[in-house]
Chains A and B, each alone.
Chain A
Amino acid sequence: MTVLDLAGLTSAPAQTWGVVRLVPLLRESPVVDLRLHASLHDPAEASIVHVGPSTAYASLVPHAFVADWTGDGTPAAAYGTQLAQPGGAIGCIRLGYRRRMVRREGRRRLRFLPLHLAMEGYLGLHFGGPSIAWEEWTRQAVTQGLSPRVELTYAGAQIPDLAEALRIFEIYPEQCGVLLYVADALAAAFVVPHPDDYRTLHPTLLGDFYGELLYQYGSLYPPVQDFVTRIDEAAVTTVADLRAQLVAARREWTAFHDTMAGGLVTASGRTVTEIRTMGRFTLSRFLPAFDPDVENHIGETITDEAGHLAYLMTVRLSAAQTRRGYLLSRLASLDWDLDTTAADLGTDREGLVQRLDRAGLGHLLRADVIDAVRRRARR
């Protein structure tokens, strides 16, 4: 699967505020047998959409969500998006701050893991580290993968206008997802199975993390404009004509949004890893082709047996992250052998080590290897 199948999701007209454009994604019939994990819902909040008795077969927990997953009252963060049976165990990392957690539980609020942890975990998940223990790689890189790796990201609150745009956004009753654009660059796509799940998670988009690029776009670009579709009055002689024009305008909008999201939906060369299958649902992670010329999104999906999206969360990588990803993916495809990869990239071993070092991946190589290169480079 290299193309994301957005069938069943219709985009509605965008709502803009400042540099942020939010495109709602609507589902005519919500997915009822996969729901957000029950402990993430506020029990006091009544459902807007009535779907009869709960029929959830599987439940999902988005990456880095903090809650009492272990059942002993201590906070833990979900590690990677999880697909589980309702009440089933959740793969998680325990967190140390007990006092704050108590406060959170009291207010029934959700929160994400501190952002840098989330991003590191994300990359760690996507790059498992060398598969062959060549002697140049450190022991840690071989046994534990790339973690810990620090990535610079920006919290949603730092992106200009995003907080206000999310606050005043008018959620549709049947809305199950959103495409988020900053200065008309696709920042993130977010899809959940059910409108109730969306309403619960909508505010957490602000606590989510976004690449450096979007922070810069948000700060530099002027406010984006609303697109106004003009009705051709010459074609209207009756009320029915006018109504037909409105329907056509709506169709135009949908088509237009599909074009705008093209960079994500139809990106080629995507690597998809299936993580888990439960019933008719499959959880997978995908990596882009790491082509520095186009937009690159990493993300997680849950799809049903027909390949339709039930859950989607993406992060857009910045140019530097794309370069790192490119190096790592080249290495991974050539079994982490430095010499072969260097030849493939048109350079020599030393050049490749320098590139790795400049990209911030030097710590993966054994200290004597990297030190020797650095010393020679200084001369």
Chain B
Amino acid sequence: MLAASAAADRVGREDILMFVNAAIASTAQTEFRSSSSGQRMSLEFLHTYVAGNYRDLYAAALALEINHLNAAMIVLNLLRTPASDPGQRHREGRLIAARLRLLPPQRVYALIASLRTLGVNNRRTRAIISEWVTARPDLTLDAVKYRRSLSVAARHAHLDLPSEVGTALFDWRRPKRFQAPLLEAWRRAHYDRSALFELPYTVAEGLAVRHRIDRKKFLAEIEPRLTAGERLRLQASAAGLGVERVAMDLGTARLTRLALYVLSLPRLQRSARRDELTTALRRAAHRAAGRRARTWGRVVAVLDDSYSSVGSQVKRRRPLAVALAAHYLFEALAAEYTGLWLTHRGDPLLIHPLGATALGERVLDGLELRPDRLVIVSDGWDNAPPGQAAEVLRVWRTRLDPSGRSTIVHLNPVYDDAGFDVHRLSPDVATVGLRDAEDAPALVELSRFATGAANFEDLRRHMAERVDQFLSVTDATAPTDDSFLIEQASSIDDVTTEDEEDEP
């Protein structure tokens, strides 16, 4: 009897961690070794399985560092299949509302559109949509920038919109003029070039083509209205047109985003701008470390720069960028830090994805320094020779460090769709999914549940704590100017997914 419950306990704990790892790491995009369709199918299976068997924990995952795609999927599944218990429904409602406020608006509008496609229109769904739309800081902006999406939401949830917004959505040609300045600018921009540059970039872009405005002139004029994500996306093409002002602000960009940008530059440029880039990365790392700076003791990181860290066409150099960002973050977190790359030596700014994944020897190099904490950032495909890292870790634990003086954590930025989890190095070492390097400290905390030492009850308690913390922070403050929220809300996806905050 006891054995059976222990087994159930272990299965439950492993299921939840597997799901959380997937929800953190996978964006259903193509990875180095798997296709986007494979990733999506695998992810959808996990969602259905966990939602059916551990509904409370499935909802609680909304409070963790999961990515936007998975947050939207969880909300969709929760709303599709209402819980029977009123208390559970109430908790879910609060979690959903809090999470929706953190998601980029286009993600939420896409979620509403899929709710409409699936015909999910219960009272709770309508109330949640209505609450979210009402809380939007400026509905006239949404009426211009997300015109079609807002009208879908209004029709689906029977929203009571301010009258001018309603008119702008459904009958905009009738009024002679709008009172709201943005709506009026948008109306005039259809006929008048000068009103164009008061609009958000994505709206102005289409109208500029209609007015036959030269691209170079357009970019130069619209520059003050660009969002951070748009700046990042446009800077190369703008520089090609000679518009130098469209450039990313290195001082405010987030760490992983910055690392992705640095790796997109050719190596010659990186070494020419070494001081500038290194300073920007260090600053971003210090911002991300916050109060935890210098609290980690002696840290050694083994960072994967093998060829597989090039990622895929849609996630270019993502695993490598995460490793690079992690390098600077650990440097800020640790009192004493050593970063070991698999093949690269010298300045980490010049890393290049190359060679096989010989983790075994590098892990031993790291362990030999006897750190307090050893962090491995790798996709876990240890292939030179296969499985050697697992052997080194096993022998280290059994023979050389049985008391466990060094904590070992493996952070994996790549979801393996065939295994329904991130690829593990060894059963003795905790493996956690990783999306943005900034989340690493929280994930390292989560990792203590990933080995045999912890039990399901501890994990439940930890998740309940995280939920309380999440709800108290998000409920207590307005969604615009809280540091926690900014940190959460801007955990943006890849450039190609076009996730970004829209308010300039």
Contact = CB atoms under 8 A, between A and B. Distances in A.
Interface string B66-79: 00000000000000
Contacts of B50: none
Contacts, number: 81
Contacts of B308: 168, 170
Interface string B278-310: 000000000000000000000000000011100
A15 B356 contact: yes
B361 A246 contact: yes
B399 A233 contact: yes
Contacts of A15: 356, 383-384
The SS class assigned to the B binding surface is helix
B8 interface: no
Contacts of B387: 226, 228-229
A246 B388 contact: yes
Given A229-B388, A243-B364, A246-B361, A236 B395 contact: yes
Contact size class for A?
Answer: 20 to 34
A231 B391 contact: yes
Contact of B399 (A12, A48, A173, A237): A237
Contacts of A7: none
Given A228-B386, A236-B400, A170 B392 contact: no
Contacts of B364: 239, 242-243, 246
A253 B386 CA distance: 11
Which of the listed residues B354, B395, B396 has the most CB atoms from chain A within 10 Å of its own CB? B395
B386 A170 contact: no
A171 interface: yes
A233 B383 contact: no
Interface in B67-95: none
B102 to A, nearest CB: 35
Given A168-B32, A239-B368, A242-B364, A230 B356 contact: no
Given A12-B356, A226-B386, A228-B387, A239 B32 contact: no
B395 A170 contact: no
Which of the listed residues B307, B360, B385 has the most CB atoms from chain A within 10 Å of its own CB? B385
B307 A171 contact: yes
A246 B354 contact: no
B356 A249 contact: no
Contacts of B307: 169-171
A239 B406 CA distance: 15
A110 to B, nearest CB: 20
Interface string B371-386: 0000000000001111
Given A12-B356, A170-B307, A243-B364, A249 B395 contact: no
Interface in A115-146: none
B447 interface: no
B398 interface: yes
Interface in B386-408: 386-388, 391-392, 394-396, 398-400
Interface in B318-366: 343, 354-357, 360-361, 364
A168 B356 contact: no
Contacts of B190: none
B391 A12 contact: no
Contact size class for B?
Answer: 20 to 34
A97 interface: no
B33 interface: yes
Contacts of B396: 242
Given A170-B356, A231-B392, A13 B398 contact: no
A246 B398 CA distance: 16
A250 interface: yes
B361 A242 contact: no
A13 B384 contact: yes
Contacts of A173: 343, 354-355
Given A173-B354, A246-B361, A168 B33 contact: yes
Which of the listed residues B308, B384, B392 has the most CB atoms from chain A within 10 Å of its own CB? B384
A227 B383 CA distance: 10
Which of the listed residues A13, A48, A170, A242 has the most CB atoms from chain B within 10 Å of its own CB? A170
B386 A227 contact: yes
Contacts of B354: 48, 171, 173
A113 to B, nearest CB: 29
Nearest to A250: B385
Contact of A233 (B360, B367, B385, B395): B395
A237 B398 CA distance: 10
A48 B386 CA distance: 25
A169 B32 CA distance: 11
7 contacts: A226-B387, A227-B386, A229-B385, A231-B395, A233-B399, A237-B399, A239-B367
